[in-house]
Amino acid sequence: MSSTDPTSGPAADRIDRADRLTPDEVAEVLALARAAGDADGADPLDEHVLLRMRDPEAPAVHLTARTADGTLTGYAHLDTTAPADGVGVEMVVHPAYRRRGAGRALARGVVAAASRPLRAWAHG
């Protein structure tokens, strides 16, 4: 099986952190979110996250999970403007790459990136 076959290999060979996403990265995340929403019957990211993801001036931390060949398998958004009681976080893993470590790797990255307690949201 090739490394692009979603049934083989790890779903997250690397986690990348960025303060801003490029337009191409935004498009990738939106496609991933659509796939997850179609599979789950609920959108995985709220409007606040979608707006902030598109705004290059909005303060946030973006984490992406990628395979060795660069395929986006997961995304996490940390709202760094959240109140002092916690950093808001929303995560999504592509349905074809679930149960293979991408969510765990993203969660570890979220914990490492958070400067305060976390407040996670689940949709649906």
Residues with Cβ < 8 Å from 92, sequence gap 6 or more? Answer: 32, 33, 36, 44, 45, 74, 75, 76
What's the burial of 75, exposed, middle or buried (CB within 10 Å: 0-12/13-18/19+)? Answer: buried
pLDDT-derived band at 1, boundaries 50, 70, 90: very low
* 111 vs 63: CA distance, rounded Å: 11
Residue 115 has a pLDDT of 74
9: left (phi over 0), alpha (psi -120 to 50) or beta: left
Using one digit for the tens of pLDDT, what is the confidence trace for 24-82?
A: 999 999 999 999 999 999 999 999 899 989 888 888 899 999 999 999 999 999 887 86
pLDDT-derived band at 8, boundaries 50, 70, 90: low
For the entire predicted model, the pTM comes to 0.86
Rg (CA), the chain: 14
Using one digit for the tens of pLDDT, what is the confidence trace for 104-118?
A: 999 899 888 887 777
* Tokens (6 digits) for 50: 């979608």
Residue boundaries of the structural domains of the chain? 14-120
Domain at 14-120, CATH homologous superfamily: Gcn5-related N-acetyltransferase (GNAT) (3.40.630.30)
What are the φ and ψ backbone dihedral angles of 13, each rounded to 5 degrees? -80, -20
